[in-house]
Structure 1
Amino acid sequence: MKRLISGLSVLVALSMILVSCAPTEVEVIKTVEVEVPGETIIQTVEVPVEVPVEAPIVAYERSETFYIAGSAWGPLNDWNPFITWSKANSTGTNGLVYESLFQFNPMTGELTPFLAESGEWSSPTTYDLTLRQDLTWSDGEALTAEDVVFTFELGNQYPALWFSPIWDYLLSVTADGDYDVQFTFTENPVYQEFSNNLYNIFIVPKHLWEDRTEEDITAGVNENPIGSGAYLYDTHSEDRNVWVRNENWWGIDVFGLPSPKRIVDIRFASNNVALGAVIKGDLDLSNNFLPGIATLSEKGYVDTYYAKAPYMLAANTAVLFLNTTKPPMDDPAFRRALAFAINVDDIVNVAYANLVAASNPAGLLPTLSKYNDEDVIDRLGFTYDPAQTASILEGAGYTMGADGFYQAPDGSAIELEVTCPFGWTDWMEAINVIATSAQEAGINIKAVTPDYGAWNTALTDGTFDMTLNNWAGMSNTPWTLYNLLFRSPIQEIMGSGNFGRYDNQVMFDLVDDLARVPVDDEEGMKAAVSAIQELMLTDLPMIPLWYNGLWAQFSSAVWTNWPTEDSAAAALPCTWNGYWQMGGLQMLIDLELVPTE
């Protein structure tokens, strides 16, 4: 049995945080173990300690400034909207400076026009788009259909750009005047992929980019970025990026003025320092993973999207990729046995203290659950059941060795590793649970935590045994997840998915079939997803485990009207790259200052 430390103890600890006033110190959190007399329990709780802060957090007029953290993993490298892997470090480049044609509301599943005024399929192979009038770049030049054509054509010209694959099916993009754009496709277009591109490709100004070299476009720094968005680049340093509101933003009359004049994105030395700053009211929103939030939220010291467990929205699915090129992971029976051996409830309850929820076996996020084939999942899914593990393994010829672990059918020992990057503390706890529960079921697995570089190399080279990954996040289509899980063709370096190198042309064809279903054909999408889930749960080349949270802890000391489960706005409390056009910008528009007495 496990329970939380008493409310009085938490209150005392938090009161110590709140009264701290030293300008160069902040009270933060460390983990301690608490034993309750008469019960065999140990509970991790949070108590305050003091840690130095290298620089003052608040440096601008507080009532005009929105302080955020939790998106950047290193110093800012560039402002290039096409270098997606580095945009975490300059979050806001995409979504605040550069804008997309549409935005996506994950809570309703709808695309809403943004730079575009409208868009529709006028024929099975023709998509007609009309821009809003009076769109402008921040240098005062007009944003027109030519800018849209130019941006999409870059993908045709430079295969290094992430969206270039759309040109396998796109024949042409043409402008008709200043506002109308026509996309012409080959027969049977990839409707799902294109719909995803409509809110993820960020339009750039032709007049500033057309004379740039391929190197500049695909890998350049793009200093002092000129976009069409609600914010402008202001300044940056080693530990922060600063954006300032574009007072001439074209969208003010359409959507309203974003409330903060400045956004300061801070990189903290640790998540604990970020938590202390939120509690003190110096930091408005932290999108870090912060242990102990459940207690702090219930006591009212921070706010979260949900008032109760799991507290956070589901942002992506944590998947255990199994290297199907290595024995025994090349055996579907072993993979299925392993799925029954993993105690996901312990990951949810112990590693995350109920900040996440278990995934369904097919992996789709709750926002896409309407596409699940529940009959298939009920018939072929899995839950924690070590007895099933034993039954499957023994039925497939595996035998128990003298060391208490199963041996392969040929009598060889099974010794495997499950990995995640060192320092990813929540995942480190999770793989410990995976290894421990597997060992208890008779499968010899050891948790190993290489540094990020070594882990990523093994991931893309295919030299791991099994590893965690969560790269498929919120999306308007289930195609996004299954395209990542079953990416094809299999190549020497698998940098964008299918890391376990599951080589099944039938599955590849099923994912392609889904890509070609029109986005308004819900029944067709369900049928395509059903076929994918049937084969996926039969072969289990990877194991969906839990929904990683959209980590969001916010303070109402300065700003209020946050997006929560009770709010009606299509907003998300998230500053991660890729989320500004999925409700992050709407959050900025909806925020209100806390009234002063």
Structure 2
Amino acid sequence: MRNRSRFLTLLAAACLAVAGCSGGGGGGGTAQSSAPASGPASAPAGGDTSFPRNETLYTSGTQYGPPSNWNPIREWDYATGTEGLVYEPLFQYDTLKDEFIPWLAESGSWTGDKEYTLKLRQGVTWSDGKPLTADDVVYTFELGKMKSIPYSNLWTFLESVEAVDQHTVRFTFSEPNYQQFSTHLYGRAIVPKHIWEGRSEEEVLDGVNENPVGTGPYTYHSHSEDRMVWQKRDGWWATKALNLDVKPKYIVDIVNGSNEVQLGLLMQNRIDLSNNFLPGIQNLVSGNFGVHTYYPEPPYMLSANTAWLVPNTKKKPMDDAEFRKALAHAIDTKTIVDNVYGGIVVAANPTGLLPQWDKYIDKDLVAEKGFTFDVDKAKQLLADAGYRDRDGDGLVENKDGSKLQLEIAVPNGWTDWMEAARVIANSAKNAGIDITPVFPEYPKLTEDRASGDFDLFINNERQLGSTPWLYYDYIFRLPIQEKQNTTNFGRYENKKAWELVQQLDQTKLDDTQGMTEILSQIQEIQLEEMPVIPLWYNGLWAQMTSSTWTGWPSSQGDAPKNPPVLWRNWIEMGGIYTLTNIRPVNG
């Protein structure tokens, strides 16, 4: 009775925390088991009893609506697991070791300054029994010639891709964009030519692709309004080639409901792996309720992406680098980390580069030109730049004496970001900058940021990957378009910075010294100009229970060291190993 009462009390408290702090942040525990929460450990999510519990992994945290397509080309909304569980990439990318792991490809190398040669692994078959060949790889990459396909930009520097023989593919480039191409090696799902050939551009992009045929360890089983079910298939090539075996016979991914519901399912062991943002999770980890995270103490999670404050550099006073630097010094990020997130996120380095990219940070430069929360410094920068309080209300005016009134926008309902925006506004006001938080609906904010109709907003859309080029392309990409849909939302123009980003792109990934030299020059411009302001690192949200499955990834001891997450685009960045390393408690 005492344990049951304690469980209900903690669950209620945690749900209250969730009710006040859920939403926008998104974007393994220790191997030993601790006392599970009281409740029906054998009962799966939603009361579903159609799958053997010790053979079924219940997950949640990616799907925000009913599964509607199994099309790996639609990287933004395919059913969770379509890429990674069914369709696979040429390589895995280990985010913790910064290594490429041969997957469908046995090897790949630059055989000339503008030529990359790929050797496919032999013995790989599609789930319909047909062999994987070089023609499938060529076909997949040539789909990018269709202008509406998300990776069509690849063909601005890829000249040709050809099958040399059944297991050899040669890529020839007009420009050797080594960094950019590396992201396609693990981020491009290979599709079967014998099934996809003849599809129209509209069908390739928008087709539902029922009954997907892939090379991966799972096939489609079923789906409903609230879940996606995958079933393990016989004959996965990696079992023989790499001695890997996915342990769950079934994976049931539950469509996200409210955070209260998700937390309740996790606490009752009806979800095994939650990749949701769950505020208050630190109380559960420390409360001996059988809930684990990758780190047993703050920040609990690996870092997945950087949250940036994006100023519109086409509007005054955000067009002034000195004002942007003053704003950076005025933001109390520690309060966001400690009070809004309870220590489950980490304050960002002034460059914004994720911890996994630490080796690329010019630490001497950051020590000299980086920023910290310092209200007095912010006030001094404002005064030196001509922003003064002329009417005695405690707030500075523009240089010409006009009112300086700004808005910071985050999506309505993303309550952690909403609270973070309030912290930013309050701390900026202490430095004399008048900022008001506003909360438009997400589609409205998306349109406003694309058209440049905003003052400030928070964004975290660029994820961790194989190269920091990804972040600097996001910050500095030129030319500015009428609609900025994916990069450089702040419309910042610096030709020198963009030239350096392009130089970085054409530097080989194994040339660490060459990369570091270019990155130092980019970071100097970044810290002097502050086109975006790094805030915090969002966590790779992952909460696990060990009542049904054990062997979760963890920072502790000899536990597996890989991302414990099945988010889109993360299964191919180590998430697949979570499925091969876990094992049933009663198996």
TM-score (norm 2): 0.92
**Residues 74 and 27 (structure 1 numbering): CA distance in 2 closer, same or farther, change over 3 Å?**
farther
Bigger RCO of structures 1 and 2 (CA < 8 A, at least 6 apart): 2
Q: Distance in 2 between matches of 1:268 and 1:325?
A: 38
Residue 571 (structure 1) shift:
2.3
Identify the residue that residue 170 of structure 2 maps to in structure 1: 182
| Aligned: 1:593 with 2:579 | no
SS at the partner of 1:399?
coil
| Aligned: 1:146 with 2:138 | no
Q: How does 1:110-509 map to 2 (within 5 A)?
A: 110-156=99-145, 158-186=146-174, 188-255=175-242, 256-301=244-289, 302-400=291-389, 401-509=391-499
Please say if residues 105 and 570 of structure 1, whose CA atoms lie closer than 8 Å, have aligned partners that are also in contact: no
Identify the residue that residue 80 of structure 1 maps to in structure 2: 71
Percent identity over the alignment is 46
Q: Distance in 2 between matches of 1:458 and 1:59?
A: 46
Task: Output the amino acid matched with 2:521.
Answer: A
Residue 278 (structure 1) shift:
1.1
Q: Distance in 2 between matches of 1:85 and 1:32?
A: 26
Q: Distance in 2 between matches of 1:272 and 1:488?
A: 43
**Deviations 1:271-315, CA, capped at 9 Å, x for gaps:** 121111111111001111111111111122210000010000000
Q: Distance in 1 between matches of 2:6 and 2:463?
A: 34
**Residues 361 and 422 (structure 1 numbering): CA distance in 2 closer, same or farther, change over 3 Å?**
same
**Residues 303 and 463 (structure 1 numbering): CA distance in 2 closer, same or farther, change over 3 Å?**
same
**Residues 449 and 173 (structure 1 numbering): CA distance in 2 closer, same or farther, change over 3 Å?**
same
Residue 262 (structure 1) shift:
0.6
Identify the residue that residue 31 of structure 1 maps to in structure 2: 17
| Aligned: 1:528 with 2:518 | yes
Please say if residues 17 and 279 of structure 1, whose CA atoms lie closer than 8 Å, have aligned partners that are also in contact: no
Please say if residues 552 and 559 of structure 2, whose CA atoms lie closer than 8 Å, have aligned partners that are also in contact: no
**Residues 314 and 13 (structure 1 numbering): CA distance in 2 closer, same or farther, change over 3 Å?**
farther
Task: Output the amino acid matched with 2:262.
Answer: A
Please say if residues 310 and 458 of structure 2, whose CA atoms lie closer than 8 Å, have aligned partners that are also in contact: yes
Please say if residues 279 and 341 of structure 2, whose CA atoms lie closer than 8 Å, have aligned partners that are also in contact: yes
Task: Output the amino acid matched with 1:261.
Answer: K
Please say if residues 570 and 586 of structure 1, whose CA atoms lie closer than 8 Å, have aligned partners that are also in contact: no
SS at the partner of 1:130?
strand
Looking at secondary structure, tell me which structure has more strand per residue: 1
Task: Output the amino acid matched with 2:225.
Answer: E
Q: Distance in 1 between matches of 2:325 and 2:70?
A: 44
Residue 59 (structure 1) shift:
4.0
Residue 30 (structure 1) shift:
1.6
Identify the residue that residue 541 of structure 2 maps to in structure 1: 551
Residue 569 (structure 1) shift:
3.2
Q: Distance in 2 between matches of 1:252 and 1:28?
A: 41
| Aligned: 1:97 with 2:86 | yes
SS at the partner of 2:88?
strand
Task: Output the amino acid matched with 2:345.
Answer: V
SS at the partner of 2:237?
coil
TM-score (norm 1): 0.91
**Deviations 1:193-217, CA, capped at 9 Å, x for gaps:** 0111100011000011111011001
Q: Pairwise CA RMSD of aligned residues? A: 2.1
Residue 31 (structure 1) shift:
3.2
Greater Cα shift, 367-376 or 561-570: 561-570
Q: Distance in 2 between matches of 1:177 and 1:152?
A: 16
Q: Which runs of 5+ in 1 are unaligned?
A: 1-8, 21-25, 34-47
**Residues 587 and 403 (structure 1 numbering): CA distance in 2 closer, same or farther, change over 3 Å?**
same
The number of equivalent residue pairs is 560
Task: Output the amino acid matched with 1:29.
Answer: C
**Deviations 1:28-71, CA, capped at 9 Å, x for gaps:** 722399xxxxxxxxxxxxxx9xxxx9942554210110000011
Identify the residue that residue 5 of structure 1 maps to in structure 2: none
Please say if residues 57 and 282 of structure 1, whose CA atoms lie closer than 8 Å, have aligned partners that are also in contact: no
Q: Distance in 1 between matches of 2:261 and 2:296?
A: 23
**Deviations 1:134-171, CA, capped at 9 Å, x for gaps:** 11111111110010011111112x02212222212211
**Deviations 1:376-399, CA, capped at 9 Å, x for gaps:** 111111000010111001001111
Q: Distance in 1 between matches of 2:584 and 2:388?
A: 65
Q: Distance in 2 between matches of 1:570 and 1:101?
A: 21
